[in-house]
Chains A and B, each alone.
Chain A
Amino acid sequence: MTAITRSLGNVSTVGKVVIPLLVLILVVGPLVTVLLATVIGPWVVGVANSNLGILRFVVAITGILLFSIPAAFIIIYMELKVIAYMNLRVGPNRVLPAGAAHSVIAGLKVLTKEDFSPTSADKTVFTWAPVMVFLTAVMTFMVIPFGPGLVGAPLNIGLLYLFAVGGMTVVGLLLAGWSSFNKYSLLGGLRSAAQVVSYEIPLTLSVVGLILLAGTLSIDSIARQQAGWVWDWFVFRQPLGALIFFIAGVAEANRTPFDLTEADSEIVAGFATEYSGMRFGFLFFAEYVNVFIMSALIVTMFFGAWNAPVDINAVLGFFHLAPFWVYLQPGELGLGLLLVIAVAPLLVTLALSAPVYLLRDSMPAWKALVVGFILFNLLVIGALGLAAYIDWDWVAGLVWFMLKAFIFVFVFVWMRGTFPRVRIDQLMGFAWKWLLPAALLNLFITAFAIVILKSAGIH
């Protein structure tokens, strides 16, 4: 025993960790495997089978957590680059082509910064407030349908859940502002409380008309009702509602021109003034996740969710064509399939690199081959993507959904590059004097129209 201790004392820190772990794995590993195979495995499967809903929820929230990070990175990169071009600048362009990784680099750097809390701050609240902000943002994702069936939790009261959870963001901001023990933070937190609470009302009311029209609170159902052509989208039946929802959404996401909570020129960085390191990273992330959520919501409610703007079946029907279908059955080719897999890449690569080589004098052969290979890969990916798009509903839905959502993200970024900031009294006045009556008007007109149309027998 002493020999073992002595030799353990000689190994490095890494070794001290690794060697006991190895021993543990060697001894415990087989035991666990046997147990898993005989007893625990069937039991887990049984439990999972009987609790499919919960399992689905856990998988979904994990997926969404994983998804929210690249989404935020892409939006941050987009903001850096788009605003740079609006400013007649180039923007970040050092890490990866066109500086594509600069947002990731910044995120990682923030992660490795020192993370401390001020002396007089309420440490518990100070630590957990960013988590709360981020968590509410991510929880909102749960009910957003990214495509047909691609939804974390298909609640039938999805809208209600959305507003209930979305409204909790302000609690996180308020806690962050209050616990920092900084007057700028406090002002920022209070401003965000006033702002979000005020804009929550027109935001919710603007959707009530839509609910009356759709007759449901389920987001999935609302999305399905917008299938078909562009003019089936709710934005054409609820233009005022869409406008109010958009404006209130900008205010909810704390974006320019309503970014009073972190107004640089007034209250330094608002509720985030005292945050550094990863806690600041959380707040920063949550802001951009919120931007994506707002865009996604606008798309889901008013801009046809995952539906394509063209009803492809109707078009095909007009030309008396059968619905397009991929007739390729790979299994029927038999041995030929192997031949294709072996030869096709080579031939296609050569075929693609030949024109490149011939058309450009300065191109050496190996470079042309590389270009050809890349083109071939792109071709294959494109073909596979097209096949997936045609074959699977959810791929098509995801493509359209992301496209539309990022168009709205672009609008958010555009506004940031363009607008000055409004003042707090103008902000509140706008919410209560204009948006709220307009939302109510929208609601009454919708209800009135529905009653009239129903009594007239038109649906």
Chain B
Amino acid sequence: MTAPVQPHYPHPSADDPRIMLDAQIGQYEQVPPYPPRTEREAEFYTLGDGEMFLNMGPQHPSTHGVLRVVLKINGEKVVDLDPVLGYLHRGVEKLCENSDYHHIISQIDPLEYVSSLFMEWAPVMAFEKLMDVQVPRRAEYIRVLTGELLRIASHALFQGWMALDLGGLTPILYSFIERDEIVEMLAAVTGQRMLFNYFRIGGVNGDLNHEFMSRLGDWMSRAAVQHEANIGLLNENEIFVRRMRDIGRVDRDTALRMGVTGPNIRAAGIPFDVRRAHPYSVYPELEFNVPVRGSNGGGDSLDRYLLRLDEVRESIRIIDQCLHEMPDGPVMARLPRLMRPRPGRAWAAVESPRGLFGTYVISDGTDQPFRFRIHDPSFVHLQLVGMLMKDNLIADTMAVMASLDPVMGGIDK
């Protein structure tokens, strides 16, 4: 079979009348270059008096990846905005439908690259439901332990990014120190720094080892103190607090209707945490609080920021309990290599650092899922930005977007 020959095309825009006209006029402002297809698009792409479009991204320092946001601004004020996604759409769902069940764990791993263990956790749980697998208790404890460690790393990065988006240079470097320690710790047990590929159907891939435990011991001995120090770095900064207070307020009803989950809904005053609302793994046996912030009017960016710091405290508690209560035993259930679950459907959700991360699997009896659906919390949260940003300033867009903590890998799948 011969490979398709790449034909040589003439320069398509050499005599393109539209571009010629643009060159004469000297402007390229036709956004979008096609007639609007929906009501919302028509509304958005109509400029009012004194308004202009500002295109942020896909490469922009503060869009957390390759998000593109089209802002309609009037001076410094944001009138409306339209997030454009898909610049990181890797087709994970389709790929998962074409991989066997073990393989999916590695396909879905890079989805939300900041907290990839949770991306493994949900499908693994769904498959276990589908195949009626009982997971050893030690494996469940290890999952909780590593997951909570990664939650701390993720929230540490959030703190740094928040500061970076508000113009502070230093906190991001401090939070990366924390994150690097945790990630190296996990690399000692999983073998990878970011995309761990550690959870397996029916357990985890390998028991905890000596290096992990010694690193963890070192870290735990000062984690709580270090956390309080990191809090002090930013929370006592007047500029920082003033930039976030009363910005991007989400009230309770909006949070529910918009499908907000995770820290963002808890910052709006609703104690919805999948670990408590729909307990999984060994979370029912562990003691921890579900921190809630936000007054009656809902929560603003500062609440969302502070709530994540509270969560780190709780996570340290959980890790401590895990270390003390972890039983001995196997870390993998005995399973066949080739898995062909019975036809059926399963849904599993975990509480990732960003909220409810769910997977929905339909099996048709083969060794590959018939349908594999990923629900990512950042995807839902990003919708809020359009609602929250109206009549705020451009600089607030960054504060609000950072406080919602979206990760583009998860949003775009």
Contacts and interface: CB of A to CB of B under 8 A. Distances in A.
A426 B240 CA distance: 12
A208 interface: no
A183 B52 contact: yes
Contacts of B62: 264-266
B167 A257 contact: yes
A83 B242 CA distance: 24
Contact of B166 (A88, A183, A420): A420
Interface stretch (A91-99, A327-335, A399-407, A411-419): A411-419
B170 A263 contact: no
Interface string B171-183: 0011001000000
Interface in B360-395: 393-395
A89 to B, nearest CB: 7
Interface residues of A, number: 32
B58 to A, nearest CB: 13
A191 B73 CA distance: 14
B24 to A, nearest CB: 11
Contact of B169 (A83, A187, A267, A268): A83
Interface in B120-171: 163-170
A420 B27 contact: no
A33 interface: no
A259 interface: yes
A419 B240 CA distance: 8
Interface string A125-151: 000000000000000000000000000
A266 B173 CA distance: 20
B239 A257 contact: yes
A191 B75 CA distance: 10
Interface string B50-66: 00101100001110000
B163 A420 contact: yes
Contacts of B243: 420-423, 426
A422 B174 CA distance: 21
A265 B240 CA distance: 15
Contacts of B26: 120
Interface string A326-354: 00000000000000000000000000000
A419 B167 contact: yes
B169 A417 contact: yes
Given A120-B26, A422-B239, A265 B166 contact: yes
A256 interface: yes
A377 interface: no
Contacts of B404: none
A90 interface: no
B167 A421 contact: yes
A374 interface: no
A313 interface: no
Interface in B212-259: 237, 239-240, 242-243
B393 A425 contact: yes
Interface string A263-285: 11111100000000000000000
A87 interface: yes
Nearest to A260: B395
A424 interface: yes
A266 B395 contact: yes
B168 to A, nearest CB: 4
Contact of A86 (B52, B170, B237, B398): B170
Contact of A265 (B52, B76, B167, B173): B167
A420 B234 CA distance: 9
B396 interface: yes
B398 A266 contact: yes
B170 A265 contact: no
Contacts of A87: 169-170, 173-174
Interface string B33-74: 000000000000000000010110000111000000000000
Contacts of B54: 183-184, 187
Interface in A246-269: 256-257, 259-260, 263-268
B177 A88 contact: yes
B166 A421 contact: yes
Nearest to B164: A265
A96 B62 CA distance: 35
Nearest to A257: B239
A165 to B, nearest CB: 29
Contact of A264 (B55, B61, B239, B394): B61
Contacts of A417: 169-170
A424 B167 contact: no
Contacts of A263: 167, 395
Contact of B395 (A120, A257, A424): A424
A83 B171 CA distance: 12
Nearest to B172: A87
B394 A265 contact: no
A419 B395 CA distance: 16
Nearest to B243: A423
Nearest to A421: B167
A360 B325 CA distance: 58
A424 B77 CA distance: 11
Interface in A401-459: 416-426
Interface of A: 83, 86-89, 119-120, 183-184, 187, 191, 256-257, 259-260, 263-268, 416-426
Given A257-B167, A259-B167, A421-B167, 20 more contacts: A83-B170, A86-B170, A87-B174, A88-B174, A119-B23, A184-B54, A263-B167, A263-B395, A265-B62, A265-B164, A265-B166, A266-B397, A266-B398, A268-B61, A419-B168, A420-B240, A422-B242, A423-B393, A424-B395, A426-B239
Nearest 9 CB-CB pairs, A to B? A421-B167, A265-B62, A420-B168, A420-B166, A87-B173, A420-B167, A265-B165, A423-B395, A120-B26
10 contacts: A87-B170, A263-B167, A266-B62, A266-B397, A267-B394, A268-B60, A420-B239, A420-B243, A424-B76, A426-B239
Interface of B: 23, 26-27, 52, 54-55, 60-62, 76, 163-170, 173-174, 177, 237, 239-240, 242-243, 393-398
